[in-house]
Structure 1
Amino acid sequence: MKGLVLSFALVALSALCASGDVPVQPDFKQDKILGKWYGIGLASNSAWFQAKKSLLKMCTTVITPTADGNLDVVATFPKQDRCEKKSMTYRKTERPGHYLSKSPRYGSDHNIRVVETNYDEYILMHTTKTKGTEVNTIVSLFGRDKSLRPELVEKFEQLAKEQGLSDANILILPQTDSCMSEA
Structure 2
Amino acid sequence: MKRLIFSLALITLYVLYVKADVPLQPDFQDDKIVGRWYGIGLASNSAWFKAKKQFLKMCTTIITPTADGNLDVVVTYPKQDRCEKKSMTYIKTEQPGRFISKSPRYGSDHDISVIETNYNEFTLMHTLKTKGSDVNTVVSLFGRSKELRPELVEKFKQTAKEYGLTDENILILPQSDTCMTEA
Same fold (TM over 0.5): yes
Instruction: Using the TM superposition, give the Cα deviation of residue 8 of structure 1 relative to its aligned residue in structure 2, in angstroms.
Output: 1.2
Residue pairs, 1:95-110, within 5 angstroms: 95-110=95-110
Q: Report the equivalent of 2:6.
A: 6
Instruction: Using the TM superposition, give the Cα deviation of residue 172 of structure 1 relative to its aligned residue in structure 2, in angstroms.
Output: 0.1
Q: Report the equivalent of 2:55.
A: 55
Deviations 1:16-56 (A, max 9, x none): 11222110000000000000000000000001101100000
Instruction: Using the TM superposition, give the Cα deviation of residue 112 of structure 1 relative to its aligned residue in structure 2, in angstroms.
Output: 0.4
Give unpaired runs (5+ residues) of structure 1.
none
> Within 1, Cα distance between the matches of 2:44 and 2:77?
18
Q: Report the equivalent of 1:167.
A: 167
SS at match of 1:101: strand
> Within 1, Cα distance between the matches of 2:6 and 2:108?
20
Instruction: Using the TM superposition, give the Cα deviation of residue 87 of structure 1 relative to its aligned residue in structure 2, in angstroms.
Output: 0.5
SS at match of 2:55: coil
SS at match of 2:73: strand
Deviations 1:71-101 (A, max 9, x none): 0000000000000000100000001000000
Aligned residue type for 1:89: T
> Within 2, Cα distance between the matches of 1:48 and 1:92?
27
Q: Report the equivalent of 1:131.
A: 131
Residue pairs, 1:3-152, within 5 angstroms: 3-152=3-152
> Within 2, Cα distance between the matches of 1:18 and 1:166?
17
Instruction: Using the TM superposition, give the Cα deviation of residue 168 of structure 1 relative to its aligned residue in structure 2, in angstroms.
Output: 0.4
SS at match of 1:54: helix
> Within 2, Cα distance between the matches of 1:79 and 1:16?
34
Deviations 1:116-138 (A, max 9, x none): 00000000000000000000000
Identity %: 74
SS at match of 1:67: coil
Q: CA RMSD in A?
A: 0.6
Instruction: Using the TM superposition, give the Cα deviation of residue 164 of structure 1 relative to its aligned residue in structure 2, in angstroms.
Output: 0.4
Aligned residue type for 2:85: K
Deviations 1:94-117 (A, max 9, x none): 010000000111010000000000
SS at match of 1:86: strand
Aligned residue type for 1:123: T
> Within 1, Cα distance between the matches of 2:80 and 2:11?
35
TM-score normalised by the chain length of structure 1 = 0.98
Name segments (4+ residues, structure 1) moved above 6 Å: none
> Within 1, Cα distance between the matches of 2:81 and 2:133?
34
> Within 2, Cα distance between the matches of 1:157 and 1:20?
21
SS at match of 2:176: coil
The number of equivalent residue pairs is: 183
